[in-house]
């Protein structure tokens, strides 16, 4: 009885926190569709992995340029293959962070979907991430200046706990960004980046933070410095 109750509580907790990787169920597709309705010209896919999100964005918004960033070289090859022929997707074999340099990424032999920069204090993941690889990171502000980008309509970030560092790497060019989708979850235990830290940075820049959950509405009011946009969902899974 106790075990059954524990399983039921765990299922309820996962549902409450929207622990679901299916974009059609977890609200990500709904957010992307809302973004598409605003006719965006430039999108960043940070933590592009094998290109699933970029492919969907490309199909929904064919006239939008999508800058996809994948830090792990072997996974980047999958991204290249997965987006080959998509003229509006530009792939980059480096990650974004708050500084330029190299980082060690923990990877799994079982899947390319799960990679993580920091796993300290997460004993449940010790046996899962058995390999490491050195990877390159750059500040978004440098990339934006090099590419002569003046406006970014949407930034999707999924980098296993390092999301805040990606945002900090935009520096002053964060003012170019209209909306951000970031992940806040278990990997923030290792990164030590709290939700309060996200709020302190983003609210000061004119963003209003909301939670993206399936089947219920949680919304983000965007800063008006670029003109009006509809209310959109912000963040994926847990915040």
pLDDT digits (tens, 9 = 90+) for 194-232: 999 999 999 999 898 888 765 444 344 444 344 444 333
* Torsion sign over Cα 96, 92, 112, 154: positive
CA atoms of 187 and 122, how far apart (whole Å): 8
Q: Does residue 196 sit within a domain?
A: yes
Count of beta carbons in the 10 Å neighbourhood of residue 84: 10
CA atoms of 220 and 235, how far apart (whole Å): 9
Joined together, the tokens standing for residue 234 give 């912000």
Lowest mean pLDDT across 18-32, 33-47, 207-221: 207-221
Q: Which residue has the tokens 């992940």?
A: 183
Q: Does residue 92 sit within a domain?
A: yes
pTM (predicted TM-score): 0.79
Domain boundaries, position 68: 18-97+139-226
Task: Compute and round to an integer the Cα radius of gyration of the chain.
Answer: 18
Q: Does residue 74 sit within a domain?
A: yes
| Residue 30 neighbours by CB under 8 Å, 6+ apart | 212, 233
Q: Does residue 117 sit within a domain?
A: no
Does residue 11 have a pLDDT over 60?
A: no
Mean pLDDT of 164-181: 95
Q: Does residue 40 sit within a domain?
A: yes
Q: Does residue 126 sit within a domain?
A: no
Number of domains in the chain: 1
Q: Does residue 104 sit within a domain?
A: no
Half-sphere exposure at residue 34, Cβ-oriented, CA atoms within 13 angstroms: 21
CATH of the domain at 43: 3.40.50.150
Q: Does residue 52 sit within a domain?
A: yes
């Amino acid at each position: 009885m106790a075990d059954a109750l524990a399983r039921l509580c765990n299922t309820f907790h996962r549902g409450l926190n929207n622990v679901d990787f299916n974009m059609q169920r977890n609200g990500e597709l709904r957010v992307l569709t809302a973004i598409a309705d605003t006719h965006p010209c430039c999108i960043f896919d940070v933590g592009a992995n094998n290109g699933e999100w970029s492919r969907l964005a490309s199909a929904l918004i064919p006239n939008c340029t999508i800058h996809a960033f994948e830090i792990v070289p072997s996974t980047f090859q999958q991204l290249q293959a997965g987006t080959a022929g998509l003229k509006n997707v530009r792939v980059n074999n480096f990650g974004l962070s708050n500084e330029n340099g190299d980082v060690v990424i923990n990877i799994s032999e079982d899947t390319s979907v799960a990679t993580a920069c920091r796993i300290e204090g997460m004993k449940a993941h010790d046996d899962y991430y058995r390999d490491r690889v050195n990877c390159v990171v750059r500040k978004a502000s440098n990339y934006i200046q090099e590419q002569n980008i003046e406006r970014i309509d949407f930034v999707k970030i999924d980098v296993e706990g390092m999301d805040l560092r990606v945002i900090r790497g935009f520096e002053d060019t964060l003012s170019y960004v209209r909306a951000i989708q970031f992940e806040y979850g278990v990997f923030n235990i290792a990164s030590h980046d709290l939700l309060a830290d996200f709020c302190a940075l983003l609210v000061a820049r004119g963003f209003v933070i909301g939670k993206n959950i399936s089947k219920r509405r949680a919304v983000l009011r965007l800063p008006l410095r670029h003109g009006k946009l509809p209310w959109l969902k912000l963040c994926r899974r847990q915040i």
